[in-house]
Amino acid sequence: MPLLHRPNQRWSMGFVSDQLASGRRVHVLNIVDDFSRECVGQLVDTSISGRHLTGLLDEIAQQRSLSASIFYDNGLKLNSKSIFFWARERQVTLAFIQPGKPTQNIFIESFNGKFRDGCLNQHWFMTLDDAGHEIDYCRAHYNNVTPISSLGYMTPVAYAKRCA
């Protein structure tokens, strides 16, 4: 992997799953800036389509520059025509890890582990709206309050601002 020198150079995406109190499955798609470790976006739903994901990416693009490339696994959940056409129209390179090699996507795997421990394992979600609210709070806390040792104990947002 090439070295990163600035925010928005490469993002990683990955899924984690949990369930509501009713037993219904909830999927969370996390998008992390690999340079700053900032979680730039999350989707929380019972099913996440490619069109749903491209809508989130367009929302993110209204607040910040899009990444030059997005790295993720080549699984069925993220393989859709809408994602490929979206990336081509916006000149974003899609890069894939090899099947069965999650260690090739260490930034999202690390974030997902911290996210599971610090958010999903700490909350019992009654409804999808409840899950969305709590998960959004956890993302804001992680980005703005949690110091990251690999960033010199700065928060992801502070590190991104310093390096931008």
Q: What is the pLDDT of residue 76?
A: 55
Residue by residue, pLDDT tens for the chain (164 residues) are 678 899 999 999 999 999 999 999 999 999 999 999 999 999 999 999 999 999 999 999 999 999 999 998 766 567 788 999 999 999 999 988 877 777 778 899 999 999 999 999 999 999 999 999 999 999 999 999 999 999 999 999 999 999 97
- At 124-134, the pLDDT tens digits run 999 999 999 99
How many residues appear in the chain?
164
CA distance 140 to 111: 14
**Domains recognised in the chain with CATH numbers:** 11-163 (3.30.420.10)
- At 90-138, the pLDDT tens digits run 999 998 887 777 777 889 999 999 999 999 999 999 999 999 999 999 9
Edge-to-edge order in the sheet of strand 93-97: 39-45, 25-33, 10-19, 69-73, 93-97
One-letter amino acid at 120 equals L
User: What pTM was computed for the model?
Assistant: 0.94
**Under a CB-based contact definition with an 8 Å cutoff, are residues 83 and 55 in contact?**
no
